[in-house]
Each structure stands twice: as structure tokens, then as C-alpha cells.
């Protein structure tokens, strides 16, 4: 996660060859994170505190998150903690609500809310899949594979669109604009494909998980998440001022 965020924030100053492994590493993250979120739900003593903690650190992380990514508004997109909190709330409702109709109505509303969050629709869908799929082998395969297919599909569609844009490059006044756009977009889309490749590696990691709990480091994640955005934002600020 930290490596991918570093690649995104400092993309203007990193060589493409270095960004590739950083994106692959980032692709591992959410599939495993969503799985462990639902595993944590199974064993937590107090789900309300669990959801509240995620929401609290989402609030704490929002300013550093927005600062690092240079969003003009702190509310352009909400960070992954909000996605996890909303996904966990849906997992809890799925288990406790007697009315399936009410649950799926709230689920549809949550999907709309997720459009304003990191990982968006697919993140919420994956988390709920981790809860609703009963077969353990399928549970470790289909949710992360859904993320892989979505990310890879989006990148491939983008590449097809790029090809169409290049088809009009010979039109009067379009050449320089298309050249500039193509160089930028092609790099981004190729990196997105490597990100999807990381998701495949995440499936391999989940397959090898034996179900035993390792050393508890849950608060390390809560601290590292907002802190690494602060560090990245400062590094980006210092580099920009050094080269300007």
C-alpha cells in the first residue's frame, strides 16, 4: 500500500521501471485487506467499536490523504478507512438484519456512497462477497479476482480508447495534443495493468493462508495509514520547491 501510494504521489519524479514493482505491490493490498476485515469481524468482541475505530481513523486520515494527492477539496474523495467502515457495516447488517429486502436496499445506497470513496463500488462489492460466499476456496478466489478483472478491464478499455484517440492524430490541430495525451495515458494504463497483476499475486497469498493468527499489529496499520500520507506530502512539497 505504502509503495503504491508513493508511486502515485511522486509519479513525476520516479522512473517508470521503478513504478512497475511499486504498483504490483499495491495491487496485493485490498484483496487481502478486505479478506482480513471480514475475518476480523468473525472474531471481534465489539463490532461497533471496530466500525467506529475505522471511521475515526478515516476522519483523522482525510486531511493527510487529500494533501498527499493534491485534491483541491478535502471531500473530493474519501480514503480507504471509510470504505472499510462502510463495508464492515454492511457485513454486520447482512448477518443481523431479518429483512433481506431492507438489507439489499441499504446495500444499493451504500454502493452510491462508495462512488466517493477509495476503491469505490468494487471495494464494497468485494467486502460483501467475502461475507456471502460460503465455500472457503471460492471465497479466497472470486472477490479478489473480481477486483483484478475490474481493474484490468478498465485499463484495457482505456487502451482501446487511446487507440481511437490516436486514430484522429492526423486531423488538423490535433497532432501535438494527441501526442501529449497519449504519452501520459499510455504510461498510466500500463501501470494499471501491473496493479491488476498484483491482485493476482494477492490471490496466491490468500490461497496459502492457513487461518492461524499471527502477531497482532492492528494499531500499526491505524498509525501508519495517516502518517505515511503526511510523509509523502512533505516529500512532494520539498521536491517541488527544490526543482522550481
pLDDT tens, N- to C-terminus, the chain (244 residues): 999 999 999 999 999 999 999 999 999 999 999 999 999 999 999 999 999 999 999 999 999 999 999 876 666 799 999 999 999 999 999 999 999 999 999 999 999 999 999 999 999 999 999 999 999 999 999 999 999 999 999 999 888 877 777 776 666 655 555 555 566 688 899 999 999 999 999 999 999 999 887 777 778 999 999 999 999 999 999 999 998 7
39-90 confidence digits (pLDDT tens): 999 999 999 999 999 999 999 999 999 999 987 666 679 999 999 999 999 9
Query: Cα–Cα distances in Å, from 106 out to 18, 146, 232?
Result: 42, 21, 36
Burial class (CB in 10 A: 0-12, 13-18, 19+), 190: middle
List the grid coordinates of 224.
Answer: 501508519
6-17 confidence digits (pLDDT tens): 999 999 999 999
**pLDDT at position 175:** 54
To which residue does cell 491482485 refer? Answer: 199
Q: Give the DSSP H or E segment for 98.
A: none
The rounded distance, in Å, linking the Cα atoms of 4 and 195 is 9
The rounded distance, in Å, linking the Cα atoms of 91 and 131 is 6
Q: Greatest CA span in the chain, whole angstroms?
A: 66
**What is the model's pTM?**
0.93
**pLDDT at position 73:** 64
DSSP 8-class letter at 209: -
List the grid coordinates of 86.
Answer: 462502510
- DSSP letters spanning 13-64: GS-HHHHHHHHHHHHTHHHHHHHHHHHHHHH-S-HHHHHHHHHHHHHHHHHH
Percent of the chain with pLDDT over 70: 91
The rounded distance, in Å, linking the Cα atoms of 228 and 234 is 10
**pLDDT at position 217:** 75
Q: Give the DSSP H or E segment for 96.
A: helix 80-96
List the grid coordinates of 228.
Answer: 505515511
**Phi-psi sector, 215: left (phi>0), alpha (psi -120 to 50), beta:** beta
The rounded distance, in Å, linking the Cα atoms of 183 and 197 is 22
DSSP 8-class letter at 78: B
Q: For Cα atoms 115, 74, 38, give the angle at the middle one, nearest 5 degrees.
A: 45
Amino acid at each position: 500500500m505504502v509503495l503504491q501510494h508513493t508511486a502515485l504521489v511522486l509519479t513525476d519524479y520516479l522512473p517508470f521501471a521503478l513504478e512497475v514493482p511499486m504498483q504490483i505491490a499495491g495491487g496485493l493490498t485490498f484483496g487481502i485487506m478486505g479478506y482480513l476485515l471480514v475475518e476480523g469481524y468473525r472474531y471481534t468482541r465489539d463490532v461497533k467499536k471496530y466500525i467506529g475505530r475505522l471511521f475515526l481513523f478515516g476522519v483523522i486520515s482525510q486531511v493527510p490523504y487529500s494533501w498527499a494527492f493534491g485534491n483541491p477539496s478535502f471531500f473530493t474523495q474519501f480514503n480507504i478507512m471509510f470504505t472499510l467502515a462502510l463495508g464492515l457495516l454492511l457485513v454486520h447488517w447482512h448477518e443481523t438484519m431479518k429483512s433481506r429486502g431492507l438489507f439489499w436496499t441499504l446495500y444499493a445506497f451504500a454502493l452510491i456512497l462508495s462512488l466517493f470513496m477509495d476503491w469505490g463500488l468494487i471495494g464494497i462489492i468485494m467486502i460483501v462477497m467475502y461475507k456471502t460466499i460460503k465455500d472457503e476456496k471460492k471465497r479466497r478466489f472470486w472477490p479478489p479476482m473480481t477486483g483484478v478483472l475490474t481493474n484490468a478491464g478498465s485499463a484495457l478499455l482505456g487502451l482501446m480508447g487511446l487507440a481511437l484517440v490516436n486514430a484522429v492524430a492526423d486531423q488538423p490541430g490535433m497532432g501535438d495534443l494527441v501526442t501529449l495525451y497519449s504519452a501520459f495515458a499510455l504510461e498510466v494504463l500500463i501501470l494499471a495493468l501491473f496493479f491488476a497483476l498484483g491482485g493476482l499475486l494477492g490471490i496466491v497469498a490468500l490461497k496459502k493462508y492457513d487461518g492461524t493468527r499471527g502477531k497482532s499489529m492492528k494499531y500499526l496499520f491505524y498509525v501508519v495509514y495517516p502518517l505515511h500520507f503526511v510523509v509523502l506530502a512533505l516529500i512532494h512539497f520539498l521536491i517541488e520547491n527544490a526543482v522550481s
